[in-house]
Amino acid sequence: MRVEKNPWIPIADLLSSVVLVLLLLFVMAVIVPRFTQEAQKREAIVQLQSALHDYEVNGLVKLDMESGMLEFTDITFDKGSALLNDKSIPAIKEVASVLVANMDKNPQMQILIEGHTDPTVVTATVNKGGYFENNIQLSALRASNVRGYLLQSMGEGYVNRIGIAGYGETRLKNNVDKMASENRRVEVRMLWAE
């Protein structure tokens, strides 16, 4: 008695192998880059922390490893002013050189400069820091002034990678003393383009 082999079985095995290979390629194309991007992000933040260690010790900046938020702790503003004080400018220039090195290594890295104010009521004001009508505009102007000094130090090639946001008094750092100078601050958030 002769047993006939079914010719479709090897073809079905071949097709299932092709489907499996395509599924693996899809997983590698979609999921693996997310993990590698997270690893790159963590590595860049660790490098940034080590480069800014001296500035953290001296109280110029504070880096939050979890959020990737860099706070200029030494840069505060007078009430109702967007003007940077003279001691702030060297700190911005020092941090700019570190940011340039990290942004060059990580082309997907972008920066968002966030300005904040205390709840002092402001009215339409013109000062050396610029014109603003309310705390949201004042905080955006503070972020814009810091961005201007960063770009002076970093170069115009980074213009499209540095944005600003003004939050006014909506994100107070010190809720006990709402008029504290630490509420009039600028923070730098590191973002990663997809």
Lowest mean pLDDT among 62-66, 99-103, 111-115, 141-145: 62-66
Q: pLDDT tens-digit profile of 132-161?
A: 778 888 888 889 988 998 999 888 889 999
164: pLDDT strictly greater than 90? yes
* pTM, to two decimals: 0.72
What gap in Å lies between CA 27 and CA 117, rounded to an integer? 45
Provide the pLDDT for residue 159.
92
The CATH code of the domain at 40-192 is: 3.30.1330.60
Domain boundaries, the chain: 40-192
Judge residue 63's burial from the number of C-beta atoms within 10 Å of its C-beta, 0-12 exposed, 13-18 middle, 19 or more buried. Answer: buried
pLDDT in tens, 23-74: 888 877 777 666 667 777 788 788 878 887 887 888 778 888 777 788 877 7
